[in-house]
Structure 1
Amino acid sequence: MRFILILLLGLLTFQSQAETLSFGVVPQQSAKKLAALWSPVLSYLSESSGVKIQFTTAKDIPEFERRLSHGDYDIAYMNPYHYTVFSQKPGYRAIAKQKDKQIKGIIVVHKNSTAKTLSDLKDATIVFPSPAAFAASILTRAQLTRQKIRFTPKYVSSHDSVYMNVSRQFFPAGGGVLRTLNNMAPEVRSELKILWTTPPYTSHAIAVHPRISQETKDKLVRAMQAMTADKQGLALLKNLNFKGLEAASDEQWDDVRQLNIHLLDNFLE
């Protein structure tokens, strides 16, 4: 009898652990800041959906990419280019995205900078979050290259680090996105101005690993839609500078696929 009780307790413990899904958030900002912003949202979704969700991230974007490639996250909030790569392997599938939102990259300079156009950054060292940060790095670097503006890229750990470096005038310019800029402390944000903005593309995906059942996916999508319609839920999303969440499908990222980017093809080998 004692053996059976121990076995049952073990099965219950395993079941409880199995029901907790990891939600990986791309580390555009510090882990502490991301946890503060996302944990209340995930707690709300956990209660609403009946699916226990736990926040996690990575130390930097390259590590986040490695974890995505291994399928470490059950659910992940990833940039548009990441989605086009990791939807192929290991096969993440988008279920939701930010409502009424397209993503634009920005290049910021110090508020006292004399730069008026991108051409004024010729021969500058410019900071970016990582090589494969979609709007903040891929799109902004592509425009500089398209205009034949020579520059030296310097990669730092996050969007926050880009803004801090430029605000302290360690570097003359940096790549980011409007949402993360708006999430910065006012004393940092007030030291910056936007020099240039990219064209818009489909924004970040909330995607699930293939091991997640259709039933669970449906529960999550319903909870996200309900959160957007709920005053309390919407207030939590506004802390992320989200207008809401909406259901999404794979083909919505075809605009990004058409850019034919190959930076992370090594993950597909």
Structure 2
Amino acid sequence: MKRLIILFVSLFFSITTYAEQITFGIVPQQSAITLANNWGPILKYLSEQTGEEVVFRTAKDIPEFERRVAAGEYDIAYMNPYHYTVFHQKPGYNAIAKQKDKKIRGIIVVRKDSTIKELSELSGEKLAFPSPAAFAASVIPRAVLEQKSISFEPKYVSSHDSVYLNVSKGFFAAGGGIERTLNNTSENVKDQLKVLWRTPAYTPHAFATHPDMPIEQQKRIAEALLSLNNTEGGRELLKRINFKGIETASNSEWDDVRSLDIKLLNHLLATNSTQ
């Protein structure tokens, strides 16, 4: 009986170590398992630094992630540049940080043994993309292909990893992604691919907090993220997601994306209210 009481007390205090639970949504560019493996240790670190339980969340695909962010389901979210410009408007997510010294570029990949050397050779092909509103991996490549009058049939396969896998297996002539997720994908897939083309560069993904999160809590999260830069252990954690560092960010830094006047997700602004 005494042992049971001790076990119960131990479990109670382990469960109540953290003052509050904070949901951290990660855009599902890769599988949930891969994201959890790469981001889990970072969220554990944030929990230890803030004294609040920061828990991993994602979605089955990018459109579902978009719906959840639009509904304000995450306390903090790591979202692509276009997502940020949309969800800053409504429900009002606010950028607190971004990857340090980084601009995001989309890429189009083909198999290493592909004879395709120019974008024009993709005319008439079926091309794989993660989702319609995946900014660098889908929106920008598709826009450039359309500007160049290169006809193609887009197919949406739910994640960056799925794009790379499908192209590596020869199911599609080419597909869209970004360099970070290509570098993070499995070696046996990556070794079968090469980059055909890169997009222009834009402000990268945002770490953004929900408008209902108290300012002091936002500051603690931001400080914890930035502190990853300061120790060898923190920098090792950042290497798991192919970051060299994290820096503070302000809303205006995404004006380069706003200047593109993309309207793909305007329907979410019309149908969701602030949570």
TM-score scaled by structure 1? 0.93
Preserved contact between residue 19 and residue 51 of structure 2 (Cα < 8 Å): no
Verify: 1:238 aligned to 2:230, yes or no: no
- 1:229 aligns with 230
Number of the residue aligned with 1:29:
30
1:124 is aligned with what amino acid? Answer: E
1:162 and 1:207 mapped to 2: Cα distance? 26
* Partners of 1:109 and 1:102 in 2: CA distance: 22
Residue pair 1:166, 1:174 contacting (<8 A) in 2 also: yes
Residue equivalent to 2:153: 152
Aligned residue pairs, count = 256
**Residue 50 (structure 1) shift:** 2.1
Q: Which residue in 1 is equivalent to 2:67?
A: 66
Q: Secondary structure in 1 aligned to 2:89?
A: coil
Secondary structure of the structure 2 residue equivalent to 1:259 = coil
Contact kept, 8 Å, 1:103 with 1:202, in 2: the verdict is yes
Q: Distance in 2 between matches of 1:24 and 1:99?
A: 20
User: How far apart in 2 are the matches of 1:164 and 1:18?
Assistant: 41
CA 1:181–1:162 in 2, change beyond 3 Å: closer, same or farther? same
Amino acid of the structure 2 residue aligned with 1:192: L
Q: Within 5 Å, give how 1:8-157 maps onto structure 2.
A: 19-157=20-158
Identity %: 59
Aligned counterparts of 2:214 and 2:141: Cα–Cα separation in 1: 37
For the 8 Å contact 2:98–2:204, the answer to whether it is kept is yes
What CA RMSD, in Å, does the superposition of the two structures yield over aligned residues?
1.4
2:170 alignment counterpart: 169
Aligned to 1:251: 252
1:203 aligns with 2:209: no
Secondary structure at the counterpart of residue 60 of structure 2: coil
Corresponding residue for residue 179 of structure 1: 180
Moved over 3 A (4+): 15-18
SS of aligned partner of 1:103: coil
1:16 Cα shift?
Answer: 8.0
Deviations 1:58-104 (A, max 9, x none): 00000000000100000000000000000000000000111111100
| Matched position secondary structure for 2:25 | strand
SS state at 2:121 partner? helix
* Structure 1 portions without partners, runs of 5+: 1-14
Change (3 A) 1:153 1:18: farther
Offset of 1:51 from its aligned partner? 2.6
1:5 corresponds in structure 2 to none
Q: Deviations over 1:38-62 (max 9, x none)?
A: 0100111111122320001000000
